[in-house]
Amino acid sequence: MIDIGTVRALYRYPVKSMRGESVATARLRWQGIDGDRQYAFYRAANTSRFPWLTGREVSAMVTYEARYLDPENTRRSKVQVTGPDGVARDVGAPGLRDELSAAAGEEVRLLQLGRGTFDAMPVSVVSTATGALLDRICGRAVDLRRFRPNIVLDLAATGAGEADFLDGALVFGDGEAAPRLRLNERIERCAMITLDPDSAAKDVSIMRRVVEALDNLVGVYCAIEAIGAIAVGDRVRLVRPA
């Protein structure tokens, strides 16, 4: 087991495709980060494998800020959503549902799913090294929030990015029963990365650069091997695959 860096930032997304919460600590459960993507709006008439309403259909969704009013008890906490107009409502408020339905041009409903409404796997990791690489290939600063990670790693001491450790396991903190993630596969990106996380303004050049320079792969999906609490500043160690 070798030291490779520290945790730079942690995020969870109470409502799928809405703005995430930056948190100082996050509890890693078998389903993923506690409270992550526990709610989602879906298109009522859509019977496909992906019925969710996301920023791909309504770009302004990324500017709606969702947060738990009781952050220590996300399973029972109310979720408050503040729209781009500054109005705060409960996630289940009919007015919010109607507003999103109007924007989508079809009926939208709300679903709460304790295991999380993930596209593929429950935890995503990206590093500041990848952020620096994105800055270079795009010719300007690129906000990592575009990629909606759960964990941002500072791996500066290694000169590596998260994808360099594929198939290895990350161990967080110093305890004997430390939380642990297996780095499984790189993440294929979609049009969500073209949306500015603050304004929802679309910049397709970012997608084009990511496709051309990185084969459209940024960040890594992870599987949970051991649960526990992760905190910003925690040291991160690597267990290499056998």
Q: Is the pLDDT of residue 114 over 90?
A: no
**CATH class as words, domain 2-239:** mainly beta
Q: How many CB atoms lie within 10 A of CB 112?
A: 13
pLDDT attached to residue 169: 96
Check: CB of residue 139 under 8 Å from CB of residue 200.
Answer: no
Residue 200 scores a pLDDT above 90: yes
Over residues 88-100, the pLDDT tens digits come to 999 999 999 999 9
Alpha-carbon Rg for the chain, nearest whole angstrom, is 18
In terms of Cα–Cα distance, which of 54, 1, 86 is closest to 200?
A: 54
The ranges assigned to domains in the chain are 2-239
Convert the pLDDT of each residue in 136-155 to its tens digit: 999 999 999 999 999 999 99
SS (H, E, C) 7-22: EEEEEECCECCCECEE
Residue 20 to residues 64, 96, 110, 158, 228, Cα–Cα distance (Å): 9, 18, 18, 28, 21
pLDDT surpassing 80 at residue 4: yes
Which helix (H) or strand (E) segment holds residue 95: the answer is helix 94-104
Compute φ and ψ for 163, nearest 5 degrees.
Answer: -70, -20
Residues 26-49 pLDDT 10s: 999 999 999 999 999 999 999 999
CA atoms within 13 A on the CB side of 82: 9
Q: pTM of the predicted model, to two decimals?
A: 0.95
